[in-house]
Amino acid sequence: MKTVALLLAIASLSSTVYAVEGGQDVNWQDYPYLVEVHGCTGTVLGGNKVLLAGHCFWGTTPQQTLSLANGEAINGLSMKTLYDTDLPENEIIDVAIWTIEKNIPTSNIAFVADLNAPETKVELGDEISFIGFGRDNHIPKLGRAINTVTWMINDLSESARFDYSGTAHSVPGDSGAPILNIYNNIIGVNTSGGSTTSSGGERLRKAKDWLLQNINAWHSPTELMFTGDNTLDIQSLHVNPTNLAERQNNGTLTTGDVSVTGGTCLTDTIEPFGTCTLEMTAGQYEGKVILDDGNEITINRGKKPTPPIPPTPPTPKDGGSGGGSIGWLGLLGLLGCALRRKN
């Protein structure tokens, strides 16, 4: 009976997705790493991965189309989830990683908290925020809410769920919305709501190893516009410690009109969930920093050198040998013919 009750509770959450009500309206252009899909909110990680709630796709296929802040639509390819009612009760976590057909254009990102660090553990009384797509007359509308953690099960082996309350709560439209700590780092995903005071989410800490296995890439903006020098912070969501020294040394780190001149991503070993710096110099034309195979930062997209204008062929001068005019050699020939006729 316990299992049946749990499944019924999960089904009740799955039937409706949720979004922010009573929060602050925000401009989607300021959060290009958020996507709207299938009545849910997703967060771009590692270029072509999207973090969201597992129940958003329960009973559907992952070949859905997501909407971006720039108005573009991109198709999904595959999905991995811990939301599986065949799992033991203490292993069901309402999260998913969705792989998209190409990198999603983002000029800024939200880092995932260091889920291995003790200080990132969710505690009662913590202030958190979440950002999601509410629905006004069935039209998604992005909003942000600040809440306080009011309930949780401290034994991580038992449950990943925690609840939070405040002046804003979830309404249909935003399951999967990122839950952020006071440093604006992602610690969970929003999964439930509906009351006028509280909402609930899943702690990512319990799913940290699973997340790394299904992302295993650098996490960074994918589109930047600048010339000259720039320093960028990026995050490793790889399973193992890594850096970018090998790619720099073998010449595969950059192409086009950009170079990486230094930074801790080259000199230090970066642990999973760790961050490092890339020091770059860009010219005025397009270039790429290739962090992983297929995972790139495009600099100054579309800016190409103007091709040279081909020279115009010279126009023959009057009296030249072209264009039907008679040159001096031709005149001498005519004169010779005339003299022969006289003789």
Domains, the chain, in order of start with CATH, read 2-210 (2.40.10.120), 216-299 (2.60.40)
Give pLDDT, residue 110: 97
Q: Which amino acid is at 70?
A: N
Walking along the chain (343 residues) 10 residues at a time, the average pLDDT comes out as: 33 40 78 89 95 81 84 90 76 88 94 93 88 69 86 61 75 81 94 68 91 97 97 98 97 97 97 98 97 95 84 68 49 52 50
- Write the DSSP assignment of 254-299 as a string of letters: EEEEEEEEE-HHHHSPBPTT-EEEEEEEEEEEEEEEEEETTEEEEE
pLDDT tens track for 132-184 = 886 655 566 788 888 888 887 655 445 677 888 877 766 666 789 999 999 99
Predicted TM-score of the model (pTM):
0.81
Q: What is the rounded CA–CA span in Å between residue 183 and residue 113? A: 9
Give pLDDT, residue 20: 55
Q: Are 258 and 198 in contact (CB under 8 A)?
A: no
14 membership: H or E segment, kind and range: helix 2-14
pLDDT tens track for 288-312 = 999 999 999 999 999 998 877 777 7
CA atoms within 13 A on the CB side of 88: 5
- Whose tokens are 């038992």? That residue is 158
Give pLDDT, residue 322: 47
Give pLDDT, residue 83: 82
Task: Give the other-Cβ count within 10 Å of 99's Cβ.
Answer: 16
- 3-class SS shares of the chain: helix, strand, coil, % to 5: 20, 40, 40
Q: What is the rounded CA–CA span in Å between residue 317 and residue 342? A: 33
Residues ≥6 apart with Cβ < 8 Å to 328: 319
Give the length of the chain. Answer: 343
3-state secondary structure of 12: helix
3-state secondary structure of 10: helix
